[in-house]
Amino acid sequence: MKEKRFIMPKKDLWTYLSESDKKIVMYGMGNGADKILSICSSRGIEVSDFFASDGFVRGHLFHGRRVLSYSEAKEKYGAENMIVLLSFASSLPDVLANIYRIADECELYAPDVPVCGTNLFDSRFYEQNVEKISAVEDLLADEKSKEVFGSVIGYKLSGDVKLLRETHSCFSEVYGDILHAEGFEYIADLGAYNGDTLREIKPYAARLKSAVAFEPDRRNHKKLVAWAEAEEGFEVKAYQNAAWDKRETLIFDGSGNRNSTLVSGDSMPVTKGARTVEVDACSLDEVLNGARVEYIKYDVEGAEREALCGSHKTIERYHPALLVSLYHRSEDIFELPLLLHEKYPEYKFYMRRREYIPAWDTVLLAVKEQL
């Protein structure tokens, strides 16, 4: 087997934590912390305390313990004697700067816990899928893609946030140099949230005339429609639907934020305490009914495979540029590129990511190769 572009850690994060003598302290609370705690409990890893940033401590409890400030945690355990587990996600510059500051003072990791699905990206999972991972690396079209891929795989195994620090991209590169958005007139946004990525692409797509947008969450869809109605010279057809491969009624685990998920069988369990509703799902092919698009974005919270299959006729006919999220399920980072290559071997593949901890907003960019 050929040499990898990244150094696989001798132990994955979970094995390392189970063998460490240091006190494990969790930074943050909420759903992300609950997921990490569940994994720690199943592997016999004890979490000693929880802390929040110094300015956010209000004396509240989490899992029966008073939430400390970072300063209190350092005083209690000593920076050199504790391991910090980050349990929330952020792309905000000031929050990232604070995370990196703590990482310079303490041993800090951000466990890679999938947004949905049950597969954990540990050493066993890696070994089971190493041939697929190697195959994806071979498919990537440029050195930067291979660098991003290698750093994300290494991060998923180790939880080391330093691997993510230098591999993010300015999305002007994505829309300009790779996707060539200046030629887009008709696009589809699957997982449109409140219109944020439509607003983002507009400056790079001067010829843009209209967009088909799917957003299943009621509150987000309402915001999307309100924004679209205020736009001039740009039509947005907003559907309160989940993107899928056929017409179906699905269960939606939703809280109004951008990380709500579809629930389909045992592979996507409902989050404890979550509010669930039924949503109508359909395919992009059905909605377009043969109409042309030059670009499709897929950020559909774990339903990317089904959404891609539901776009097959459109992709075969028009060869639009594709942007596909790769971070919701542990297997997405290799299964989705391999699926696309199998169906559309004429496409070239690039991998890019935004500055985000954990490795969210890691995307595959697929464009038809020009002969």
**Which domain-ending residue is among 111, 145, 168?**
111
Is position 287 within any domain?
A: yes
Is position 29 within any domain?
A: yes
Same domain (yes/no): 144, 69: no
The pLDDT value recorded for residue 4 is 53
Q: Which two tokens stand for residue 348?
A: 């070239």
Same domain (yes/no): 198, 69: no
Is position 93 within any domain?
A: yes
Same domain (yes/no): 222, 336: yes
Same domain (yes/no): 174, 211: yes
pLDDT bracket for residue 252 (50, 70, 90):
confident
Is position 7 within any domain?
A: no
Same domain (yes/no): 80, 164: no
The pLDDT value recorded for residue 371 is 52
**Which domain-ending residue is among 80, 111, 142?**
111
Same domain (yes/no): 250, 171: yes
Span 39-97, pLDDT tens digits: 999 999 999 999 998 777 777 889 989 999 999 999 999 999 999 999 999 999 999 99
Same domain (yes/no): 187, 292: yes
Q: What percent of the chain has pLDDT over 70?
A: 92
Same domain (yes/no): 294, 350: yes
* Contact indicator for 87, 30 with CB cutoff of 8 Å: yes
Distance CA 253, CA 280 (A): 13
For residue 148, pLDDT beyond 90: yes
**107-109 and 82-86 beta bridge pairing:** parallel
CATH at 83: 3.40.50.20
Same domain (yes/no): 82, 188: no
Which residue in this structure is represented by tokens 């500051």?
101
Q: In the chain, where does DSSP find H-type helix? A: 13-19, 31-42, 70-77, 93-105, 123-139, 143-158, 171-172, 196-201, 218-230, 284-288, 304-309, 312-318, 332-343
User: What pTM value is reported for the model?
Assistant: 0.92
Lowest mean pLDDT among 27-31, 53-57, 148-152: 53-57
Query: Mean pLDDT throughout 159-173?
Result: 89
pLDDT bracket for residue 157 (50, 70, 90):
very high
Is position 127 within any domain?
A: no
Is position 182 within any domain?
A: yes
Buried b (16+ CB within 10 A) or exposed e, 44-76: ebebebbbbeeeebeeeebeeeebbebeebbee
Q: Domains in the chain: how many in total?
A: 2
Is position 180 within any domain?
A: yes
Same domain (yes/no): 105, 180: no
Lowest mean pLDDT among 150-159, 164-173, 348-357: 164-173
CATH at 354: 3.40.50.150
Burial of 359 (0-12, 13-18, 19+ CB in 10 A): buried
Same domain (yes/no): 102, 139: no
**Which domain-ending residue is among 96, 111, 126?**
111
Is position 119 within any domain?
A: no
Span 282-336, pLDDT tens digits: 999 999 999 999 999 999 989 999 999 999 999 999 999 999 999 999 999 999 9
Query: Mean pLDDT throughout 132-154?
Result: 96
Same domain (yes/no): 237, 299: yes
Residue 55, domain extent: 13-111
The pLDDT value recorded for residue 93 is 95
